[in-house]
Amino acid sequence: MAAPRSHNLHFFKVLMPGYDQNLMIPVASSAELKELKLSKKDKETALLRTRRSKDTLWKVDVCKREEDGKWCFSGDNWRDFVKFHDLNVHEFLVFEHKGDLLFNVFIYESPTDGVGMICEKEFPSRGDHERKNSSTICKE
């Protein structure tokens, strides 16, 4: 029997073309997430939190793909999350699982300095131009 995990599960994803439609959860990580491992459904809901929206939880679909049974973040709310955070190809996301499909998401810019230095993405301060959609986000 495996020893109980003494820390939160983390995984990372480098954004490749198509990330705005769906982002696959690594197979080894989805096998560790009891909420997905025990799921009898093809769709669950995850809550995502970032530094940009630390007081907000994004309700995002986690769907099992028909073609291979792999889990991924997808749906309209995932696309809203991508747009709100201005995510781009080659940016780097680190997901920290806090339990019950709640994730802290850390966003890093792609290295542009030629040395491979990765820095956390900075966002402008919140303004009135940011959209609040009650089906996508919820206050903690």
Q: Provide the number of structural domains found in the chain.
A: 1
Is 2 contained in some domain? Answer: no
Q: Which CATH number goes with the domain that contains 82?
A: 2.40.330.10
User: Which of 6, 14, 100, 24 shows the shortest CA–CA distance to 57?
Assistant: 100
Is 12 contained in some domain? Answer: no
Is 6 contained in some domain? Answer: no
Query: What is the SS3 assignment for 8?
Result: coil
User: How far is Cα 117 from Cα 110, in angstroms, rounded to an integer?
Assistant: 8
Domain around 85: 17-112+133-139
Please tell me which residue, 120 or 97, carries the higher pLDDT value: 97
Average confidence (pLDDT) over 55-68: 92
Query: What is the SS3 assignment for 112?
Result: coil
pLDDT one-digit tens code per residue, 75-118: 999 999 999 999 999 999 999 999 999 999 999 988 765 666 67
Is 65 contained in some domain? Answer: yes
Is 80 contained in some domain? Answer: yes
pLDDT one-digit tens code per residue, 4-17: 555 789 999 999 99
Is 128 contained in some domain? Answer: no
How many residues are listed for the chain in this entry? 140
Is the overall model pTM greater than 0.95, yes or no?
A: no
Is 93 contained in some domain? Answer: yes
